Structure 1
Amino acid sequence: MMKRPLLAIDTAGAVCGIALYQRGEGQQERLFTRELEGVRGHAQHILPLIDEVLAQANCTRGDLGAVAFNQGPGAFTGIRLGCSVAQGMALALDLPVIPVGMLPAFAAGLKAPAQDGLCLMAADARMDEVYFAAYGPYGPHGSYERLTLQWPVLISAQDCLPYIARRLSYWVRAAGVQQVTLAGDGWALMNQTLCHQTLQEAVPEIVLQDWHAQTPTVDVQSIARHAWDLWQQGRYVDPALALPLYLRDKVAFTTQERELGQGGNPKAAQPEDILLLPMSEHDLPEVAALEAESQVSPWRETQFKEALEAGYPAWVLRNSADQLVGLCVMMIAPDEAHLLTIAVSSDVRRQGLASKLLAQVLEVARQSQAQQIVLEVRVSNQAARLFYEQHGFVEIGMRRGYYPCPENGREDAQVLALRLTAGSSA
């Protein structure tokens, strides 16, 4: 027996695509699509295309079970259009919305052996820049999503290889694999021989495979299939919380900026020296040591291990000398994110590293469609409370006797929250 169908919308690129998708218990599929290529004015075509697909499938809007859309990155206007149409239909029909990131949808659609290894995804972002992300194998317990090692970033094509080379050994270690696939049309902007040489020198034991010549860009069918998987796993949001994913802040300078000497097009930011990396089991002894240095009642190494096994997003910061100087762990719930622990080495405090970790937490929370971020902080920790206040957190409650004290007493925890509003992801 098939569940109610899902309607998928893709207006993030040059093609305006609509799909109606169903999958039965025996994995049999029912798929209807309509696409218009090279369409500039998606807005005038999207509703007629939806009607055509519904008619083709002999369905009505009332038969739908969910609405999905390609949240990007991609064209500003297109992403906003797809998001707003999905929101409008979902609100009118009381349906959930499934925002689907373009890069994870692409990675999810790769076939074996790329499916079981590390995927370095580079999509052409125009202006000699790429949208880049790194994904490991699929998660445990039948997860529908691959392990995210590097969340999507915008980077210049010339900076991409050095960026990857400095991080590749950590990604390979965190993923626990040696098979590495280069996927996406962004790799065509780089010299293939240099790519292989640079990455092989960075991690000699990896086995490289190119897919950029064989794999198409994400289409509405792949968006629909990935959205269905997310829907079955409960990964959907209230329509009011559905947001586009923007990685590019701007595509042109203002008149005032040009008068001040800014020319050409705005460029992607330069990669930073401090590496933000996924936490792996290899990091845990250093992680536990830094946690013990920073917290009154620190997590034990086994607790960090359990968090990784549970799939909690966690990161470390490493400097150019490969020293671990920061850490954080968060948990994603259906409607909120919870910052569980964050610490920075005493040697490098007040250099913006805690803000860098918090920015990553905010980014992941937004991309996960969380409505707010919550955390607890000791009432006696004035420095931490000021830090969170400066980043927009406000008190929403108090947990009495929440924290243990060294003297066997208990200390209250202030509960803080940051409401996540609609807006672009930097």
Structure 2
Amino acid sequence: MHPILALETSTATCGVAIYSRSESSESLDFKELSGVSGHAPNILPLVDDVMRQAGLTRHDLAAIAFGQGPGAFTGVRLACSVAQGMSFALQIPVVPVGALPALASGLMHALPPTLLPGICLVALDARMNEVYLAAYVRRDAQANIANSDSMPGYFELQSPVLIRVDDCPAFIAERLPYWLKTFAGLHTLVLAGDGWQLIHRKELAAEVDKTCADHQLVWHDLSADFGTVSVKDVARLGWDLFHRGRRVEPEQALPLYLRDKVAFTTAERALGQGGNPQAMQSATAMVLPMSLADLRDVIELERQSQAFPWSEGHFRDALAAGYSGWVLRQAGVLVGFCMAMPAPDEVHLLVIAVSPDCRRQGFGALLLEQVYMFGRQQCASRVLLEVRPSNASAIAFYRRLQFEQIGTRRGYYPAAKGQREDALVMARSLHGEQVSHD
């Protein structure tokens, strides 16, 4: 089986690996270079060195995986651009690999059975008194959730967010009860990533004691041994993603950015500003992965929101097919949900609803932010949706969020008295440019 090439330049270490795996063994050749100024002069010589070490040529490669970030701005762009250039030249696909899931996957690969299953909390130092934070659990945990994501080996409990260090304890403690409810029998929390050197551990433990008093939780801090993502992590996860069909054409490969500014002004620092607005807002309104336990509430809200609602079977089938769903809860009450389907170069929003009592409060936009993040992780270029022409308020909402009409589907929706209604097809670019009209 042809190997893949992996590139990782989002940290202070420049790494290149060639990786393949069979049912009985794996083959890994890699080189890493640290303590030098800049990775650009070194990455292609490292590729040549690893190729010689493995006894291969570039034409033996099946794909190129690259560390997508988040991480150092210049670093993630470098790995992406090298992967794109080689992909164009060799006519092979690119596999984007996120830094946080790669580190979590590498940690879970190395953990002894005594620490599994458990929740892996990954925090990477984002500078400016902020961290990139995400949470994962292995798929062999006893889950009350369908197969709702396409990432092999684990479930993503919390997609990567940029958040202030001081806000992390409350952010995690508020979500932990829902994660523990969804995955029965979990009692282990494993910490990974150099961001944990910044987070106040005693404050986190105190907050968790308040929200999870009925759980006997065991903490394992492995952040010293698993501080940053390595090219070996990117290679192993990249291999899994490649063989799950998670590959893109080179022109679609993009870094994953969670921050849109790289420095604060003196005035902003004096005010203590920082953090991701979505992460801050969701401290009271939490976006969580949709589980089977949510379906009763989801179906009730769907019936309140749609004249022709999805059935429970529709939701179960969608989750089982690998579509991704999220619920939005405030003080434990469901206030909204959405479901999306990944497709080549785009994410298709299948259904979204917000409780009638909670509309015009930003909850719909918060759900769509989750869909945008999901799309960026997939290297999708746009989010696509359908809406009834008669639903003027929904059309206005989508237009405020920069969706544009790109087409019409004739007779798409069922309507009253056995009639059919057209659907307006709307799209929003995930990269700022105008959407294409297919």
- After TM superposition, is the score higher than 0.5? yes
In the TM superposition, residue 309 of structure 1 has moved relative to its aligned partner by 3.1
Say if 1:16 and 1:39, in contact at 8 Å, map to a contact too: no
Inter-CA distance 372–126: structure 2 relative to 1 (3 Å threshold): closer
Structure 1 residue 298, shift from structure 2 partner? 1.0
Distance in 2 between the 1:337 and 1:420 partners? 10
User: 1:251 and 1:397 mapped to 2: Cα distance?
Assistant: 38
**Structure 2 residue aligned with 1:122:** 123
385-394 or 97-106, which deviates more: 385-394
Please say if 1:370 is aligned against 2:387.
Answer: no
SS at match of 2:274: coil
User: Please, which moves more after superposition, 264-273 or 355-364?
Assistant: 264-273
Aligned match of 2:189 in 151, 161, 181? Answer: 181
Correspondence 1:225-264 to 2 at 5 A: 225-253=236-264, 257-258=265-266, 261-263=267-269
> Given residue 190 of structure 2, which amino acid in structure 1 is its aligned partner?
L
**1:349-392 deviation digits (Å, cap 9, x = unpaired):** 22222111112111111111123322211121122122223323
Cα distance, 1:421–1:194 mapped onto 2, change above 3 Å:
closer
Q: Which residue, 85, 90, 95 being the options, matches 1:93? A: 90
Q: Is the 8 A contact 1:108 1:115 kept in 2?
A: no
Name the amino acid aligned to 1:49: L
Residue 390 of structure 1 is matched in structure 2 by 400
- Alpha-carbon offset, residue 191 of structure 1: 4.2
Q: Secondary structure of 1:235's match?
A: coil
Give the drift of 1:422.
7.1
By how many angstroms is 1:303 displaced?
A: 2.3
> Residue 40 of structure 2 contacts residue 78 of structure 2 at CA under 8 Å; is this kept in 1?
yes
Give distance in 1, aligned partners of 2:66 and 2:335. Answer: 38
Give the structure 2 partner of residue 281 of structure 1.
292
2:117, 2:188 within 8 Å by CA — same for their partners in 1?
no
Is residue 275 of structure 2 the alignment partner of residue 268 of structure 1?
Answer: yes
Q: Could you tell me the percent identity over the aligned residues?
A: 48
Residue 39 of structure 1 aligns with which residue?
Answer: 36
Aligned counterparts of 1:140 and 1:289: Cα–Cα separation in 2: 22
Distance 1:335 1:76, change over 3 A: same
Q: Please, which moves more after superposition, 186-195 or 38-47?
A: 186-195
How far apart are residue 88 of structure 1 and its match?
Answer: 0.7
CA distance in 2, matches of 1:205, 1:47: 50
Structure-1 residue corresponding to 2:315: 304
Matches within 5 A, 1:15-414: 15-23=13-21, 25-109=22-106, 110=108, 111=111, 112-138=113-139, 144-184=152-192, 185-203=194-212, 204-210=214-220, 211-253=222-264, 257-258=265-266, 261-263=267-269, 267-269=274-276, 271-272=280-281, 273-319=284-330, 321-414=331-424
Deviation for aligned residue 1:148: 1.1
What SS class does the counterpart of residue 78 from structure 1 fall into? helix
Report the 3-state secondary structure (helix = DSSP H, G, I; strand = E; otherwise coil) of the residue aligned with 2:189.
Answer: strand
- 2:376 is paired with a residue whose SS is helix
Write the deviation string for residues 39-91 of structure 1: whole angstroms up to 9, x where unpaired: 22111111111111111122222222111111111111111111111111111
Q: Distance in 2 between matches of 1:411 and 1:72?
A: 43
Relative to structure 1, the CA distance from residue 14 to residue 108 in structure 2 (aligned partners, 3 Å threshold; closer, same or farther) is same
Distance 2:171 2:302 in 1: 28
* Distance in structure 2 (CA, Å) of the matches to 1:180 and 1:276: 22
On the 8 A contact 1:251/1:266 being kept in 2, the answer is no
Contact 1:9 1:70 in 2 (8 A): yes
Give the deviation of 1:316 after TM superposition. 1.7
Contact 1:114 1:179 (8 Å CA) reproduced: no
String of CA shifts for 1:293-318, please: whole Å, max 9, x gaps. Answer: 11111112332233333332111222
2:169 is paired with a residue whose SS is helix
> What is the Cα deviation at residue 189 of structure 1?
2.3
Aligned-pair CA distance for 1:14: 0.4
Report how many aligned residue pairs link the two structures: 414
* Cα distance in 2, alignment partners of residues 359 and 128 from structure 1: 23
**Offset of residue 287 of structure 1:** 1.3
C-alpha distance after superposition, 1:77-123 (max 9, x if no partner): 11111111111111111111111111111111212355533222222
The 10-residue stretch of structure 1 (332-341 or 173-182) with the greater mean CA deviation from structure 2: 173-182
Give the RMSD, CA atoms, in angstroms: 2.3
Distance 2:209 2:410 in 1: 54
User: Tell me, which stretches of 5 or more residues in structure 1 are unaligned?
Assistant: none
Contact 1:68 1:224 (C-alpha < 8 Å) held by counterparts: yes
User: Which residue in the other structure is 2:436 paired with?
Assistant: none
Moved more, 107-116 or 327-336: 107-116
Moved more, 141-150 or 210-219: 141-150
The residue type equivalent to 2:104 in the other structure is A
Q: State the distance in 2 between where 1:367 and 1:206 align.
A: 34
- TM-score normalised by L of structure 2: 0.88
Cα distance between partner residues in 1 of 2:320 and 2:310:
15
CA distance in 1, matches of 2:402, 2:128: 34
Quick one: distance in 1 between partners of 2:186 and 2:179? 10
